[in-house]
């Protein structure tokens, strides 16, 4: 190694060390959780998860027992299905409704268009807490508490402002000529929506799906308020937070349950990260 | 197991009805408009058919509740007797509310500075190495994890055992085995415990700051930085005199976004300490008023206070949006 290269290497060394240390620290917590979730109760109760590295090739020290136990006895399996039942429609419905609204805001003329849209943007940062009590009262009166329909609609309401805002920015920025020539050829608005606006908005929709899905899946507050009292519809977040209280120091179970709750969002995130980042940049960095 | 089958069946049926129903609405309403109205009226009615569902839902789930919450914040616990400003007086004088306000202030300063500061550091440093994407992905990944999941992850790291038994929490293992200290019940330490909770937030949200700031940094023209170097500026000056001012508006965006999330912080505290040992925050207090004490008046007053704290951020957001519109 010549001298110049050595100097360059040494001056950049602090940069490498800082980045590697930070990356390591950021990964360690999840890794520890995952390893401990695979350890039998006795081991988890008496030693730390890092002790598995004393005999790294001894796979007999690992077990899937905790997962079997939390998925069946502790009800995480049921909660997982509930989370899916909540998240999939609570992602699809608002995005579909927002897409039609965004299309109308972009390519249709009607009185009050601008005012209505600006009001929607204003609702973006209304804290959820402002909405809970009145909705809860209506739900209690109409029997919607503890129902999937109730929580879909709630998540739809809370997710719509961001979805409309992002989609309107995207659909509104599509080239005008595309729509004009389609209308000249006799296309209806519905055709223009499904054949032009939707296919071209795939990136925006993908990023919204990632956002809304993660938001709904990871939500605790809305689920606690509207489903909290009904165990058989509780999603994973509610279940895990209950387990924290009920199994207390049973870390072999808690770590497995937590991992069940975060495995799917982690997968979705790793696959759709590109779109998620695009959404972040479109929503908060523009301008 | 029949119950599992029943559950899956119910889930599938519910999803088909929910998603299918909304599709049927939009396609159906279009066909109905085509059949019923003359061409001229069709074009006037159709936009309203497209925005009606969202307008109705937004009125029902945001606008009406906001007005109603503000209204019942002046009433007693069951909203049947007018109490004037009593709920607000409670909010600003009650001991645990004051602790919550103080903690939210600490959260605002430490968590915002932590995420933005670390985000900036990592964004600038990662820009100089070849494994930038890997670093960013690793730092960014916790964003996929719920506050509940993160709460369990970190509660495990903070786990405490009396000195006689081996430590299973990472932090105490380091503290006891490597540093030869007595084990510490981290989440019971007042006032440090609030900072241990804030660490969880920073762990999750730094990735957001990194990604957004890094994108802005890449927008700074390379020639600008090169010519500053040619004129003898050191890296420190380049950072403070060029990078920070050039991406100032993006830093502000990240900071306001953090402030909005921090003001509403709930899950981390609920799962890890439930506000015990002086770790209370505003949103957790509101939840307690709502469900533990069943006092809807006080809970509403607390929600209104949260709203008022967030309104300045809302104005900044709308202004920024209007500016973007004009630039188009």
Residue with tokens 């950021």: A26
The mean of the pLDDT values for chain B is 91
Query: Which residues of A fall within a CB distance of 8 Å from B20?
Result: none
**CA atoms of A207 and A163, how far apart (whole Å):** 10
Same domain, B188 and B242: yes
Establish if B27 touches chain A: CB-CB under 8 angstroms. yes
Co-location of B14 and B161 in the same domain: no
pLDDT of B323 > 80? The answer is no
* Token pair listed for A99: 């897409």
Work out the average pLDDT over B261-285.
Answer: 94
The string over A10-42, giving b where at least 16 C-beta atoms fall within 10 Å of a residue's C-beta and e elsewhere, is eeeeeeeeebeebbeebeebbebbbbbbbbeee
Does residue B86 fall inside a structural domain? no
Residue A286 pLDDT class (50, 70, 90 cuts): very low
Residues B127 and B195 in one domain: yes
CB pairs under 8 A between A and B: 327
Residue B256 inside a domain? The answer is yes
Segments in B37-146 forming alpha helices (H): 39-58, 64-72, 86-93, 95-126, 132-140
3-state secondary structure B108-138: HHHHHHHHHHHHHHHHHHHCCCCCHHHHHHH
pLDDT at B252: 86
Closest by CA position to A22, among listed B8, B27, B206: B206
What percentage of chain B has pLDDT greater than the value 90?
73
Q: CATH 2.40.70.10: does it fit domain A68-284?
A: no
3-state secondary structure of A47: coil
**B207: Cα separation from own chain's centroid:** 13
Give the Cα separation of B138 and B297 in Å (integer).
44
On whether both B140 and B27 belong to a single domain, the answer is no
Across residues A154-159, what is the average pLDDT? 95
CA pair distance A284, A211, nearest whole angstrom? 13
Same domain? For B160 and B233 the reply is: yes
Question: pLDDT tens digits for B29-68?
Answer: 999 998 988 888 888 899 999 999 999 999 999 999 999 9
Confidence bin at A5 (pLDDT 50/70/90): confident
Task: Say how far apart CA B53 and CA B23 lie, in whole Å.
Answer: 12
Only one residue has tokens 């599509």, namely A174
d(C-alpha B69, C-alpha B113), whole Å? 32
Does one domain contain both B9 and B147?
A: no
Residue of B nearest to A154 (CA): B61
**Each residue's pLDDT tens digit, B125-181:** 999 999 999 999 999 999 999 999 999 999 999 999 998 889 999 999 999 999 999
pLDDT of residue B326: 61
Q: Evaluate whether B238 touches B229 at the Cβ level (below 8 Å).
A: yes
- pLDDT over 80 (residue B98): yes
Domain ranges (residues) in chain A: 3-63, 68-284
pLDDT at B65: 97
Structural domain containing residue B290: 94-327
Count each helix (H run) and each strand (E run) in chain A, helices first. 14, 0
CATH label of the domain that carries residue B279: 1.10.3720.10
DSSP B167: P
| Confidence check: pLDDT of A275 > 60 | yes
Claim to verify: residue B53 and residue B164 sit in the same structural domain = no
Whether B193 and B109 map to the same domain: the answer is: yes
Cβ separation B148–A241 shorter than 8 A: yes
Judgement on whether residues B316 and B247 belong to the same structural domain of the protein: yes
Can you tell me the distance from the alpha carbon of B210 to that of B193, in angstroms, rounded to the nearest whole number? Answer: 26
Is residue B78 one of the residues assigned to a domain?
no
Q: Closest Cα of chain B to A126: distance in Å?
A: 7
Query: Is residue B186 within 8 Å of B272, Cβ to Cβ?
Result: no
What does the pLDDT average to over B93-104? 96
User: Are residues B159 and B263 part of one domain?
Assistant: yes
Rounded to whole angstroms, the Cα distance separating B316 from B244 reads 20
Same domain, yes or no, for B141 and B265? yes
Judge whether A26 and B139 are in contact, CB under 8 Å. yes
Burial level of B35, CB count in 10 A (0-12/13-18/19+)?
Answer: exposed
Same domain assignment for residues B157 and B250: yes
User: Residue A129 corresponds to which tokens in the numbers above?
Assistant: 């807490």
pLDDT band at B320 (very low <50, low <70, confident <90, very high): low
Domain assignment present for residue B273? The answer is yes
- A186-221 tens-digit pLDDT: 999 999 999 999 999 998 999 899 989 999 999 999
The tokens describing A25, both together, are: 């620290």
pLDDT in tens, A56-113: 888 888 999 999 999 999 999 999 999 999 999 999 999 999 999 999 999 999 999 9
Out of B146, B170, B324, name the one closest to residue A48 (CB). B170
Per-residue pLDDT tens over the stretch A215-270: 999 999 999 999 977 888 999 999 999 999 998 789 999 999 999 999 999 999 88
Residue B234 in any domain: the answer is: yes
Tokens matching residue A2: 């010549």
């Amino acid at each position: 190694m010549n001298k110049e290269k050595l100097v360059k290497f040494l001056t950049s060394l602090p940069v490498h060390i800082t980045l590697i240390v930070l990356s390591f620290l950021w990964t360690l917590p999840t890794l520890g959780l995952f390893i401990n979730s695979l350890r039998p109760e006795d081991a988890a109760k008496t030693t730390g998860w890092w002790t598995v590295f004393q005999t790294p090739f001894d796979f007999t020290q690992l077990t899937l027992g905790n997962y079997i136990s939390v998925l069946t006895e502790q009800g995480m399996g049921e909660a997982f299905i509930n989370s899916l039942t909540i998240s999939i429609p609570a992602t699809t419905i608002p995005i579909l409704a927002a897409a039609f609204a965004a299309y109308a805001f972009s390519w249709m003329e009607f009185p009050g268009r601008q005012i209505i849209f600006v009001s929607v943007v204003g609702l973006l940062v209304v804290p959820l807490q402002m909405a809970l009590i009145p909705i809860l009262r209506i739900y209690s009166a109409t029997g919607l508490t503890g129902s999937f329909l109730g929580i879909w609609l709630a998540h739809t309401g809370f997710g719509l402002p961001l979805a409309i805002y992002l989609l309107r920015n995207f659909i509104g920025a599509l080239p005008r000529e595309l729509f004009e020539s389609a209308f000249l050829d006799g296309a209806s608005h519905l055709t223009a929506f499904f054949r032009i606006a939707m296919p071209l908005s795939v990136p925006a929709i993908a990023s919204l799906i990632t956002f809304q899905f993660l938001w709904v899946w990871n939500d605790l507050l809305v689920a606690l308020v509207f489903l909290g009292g009904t165990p058989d519809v509780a999603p994973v977040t509610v279940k895990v937070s209950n387990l924290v209280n009920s199994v207390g120091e049973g870390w072999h179970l808690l770590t497995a349950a937590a991992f069940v709750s975060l495995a799917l969002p982690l997968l979705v995130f790793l696959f759709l990260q590109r779109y998620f980042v695009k959404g972040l940049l479109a929503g908060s960095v523009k301008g | 197991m029949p119950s599992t089958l029943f559950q899956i069946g119910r889930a599938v049926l519910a999803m088909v009805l929910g998603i299918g129903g909304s599709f049927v609405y939009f396609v159906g309403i279009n066909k109905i408009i085509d059949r019923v109205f003359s061409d001229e009226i069709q074009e006037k009615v159709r936009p309203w058919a497209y925005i009606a569902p969202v307008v109705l839902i937004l009125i029902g789930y945001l606008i009406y509740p906001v007005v109603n919450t503000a209204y019942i914040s002046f009433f007693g616990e069951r909203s049947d007797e007018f109490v004037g400003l009593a709920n607000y007086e409670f909010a600003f004088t009650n001991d645990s509310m004051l602790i919550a306000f103080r903690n939210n202030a600490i959260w605002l300063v430490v968590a915002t500075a932590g995420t933005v500061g670390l985000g900036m550091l990592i964004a600038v440093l990662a820009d100089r190495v070849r494994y930038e994407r890997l670093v960013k992905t690793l730092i960014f990944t916790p964003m996929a994890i719920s506050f509940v999941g993160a709460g369990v992850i970190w509660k495990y790291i903070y786990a405490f055992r009396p000195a006689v038994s081996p430590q299973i929490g990472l932090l105490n293992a380091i503290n006891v085995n490597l540093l030869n200290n007595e084990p510490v019940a981290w989440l019971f330490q007042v006032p440090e415990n609030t900072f241990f909770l804030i660490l969880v937030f920073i762990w999750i949200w730094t990735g957001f700051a990194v990604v957004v700031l890094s994108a802005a940094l890449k927008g700074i023209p390379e020639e600008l930085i090169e010519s500053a170097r040619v004129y003898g500026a050191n890296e420190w000056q380049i950072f403070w005199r060029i990078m920070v001012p050039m991406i100032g508006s993006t830093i502000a965006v990240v900071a306001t976004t953090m402030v909005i999330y921090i003001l509403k912080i709930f899950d981390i505290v609920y799962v890890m300490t439930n506000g015990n040992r002086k770790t209370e925050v505003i949103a957790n207090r509101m939840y307690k008023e709502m469900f533990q004490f069943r006092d809807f008046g006080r809970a509403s007053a607390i929600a209104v206070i949260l709203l008022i704290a967030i309104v300045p951020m809302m104005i900044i957001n709308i202004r920024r949006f209007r500016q973007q519109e004009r630039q188009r």
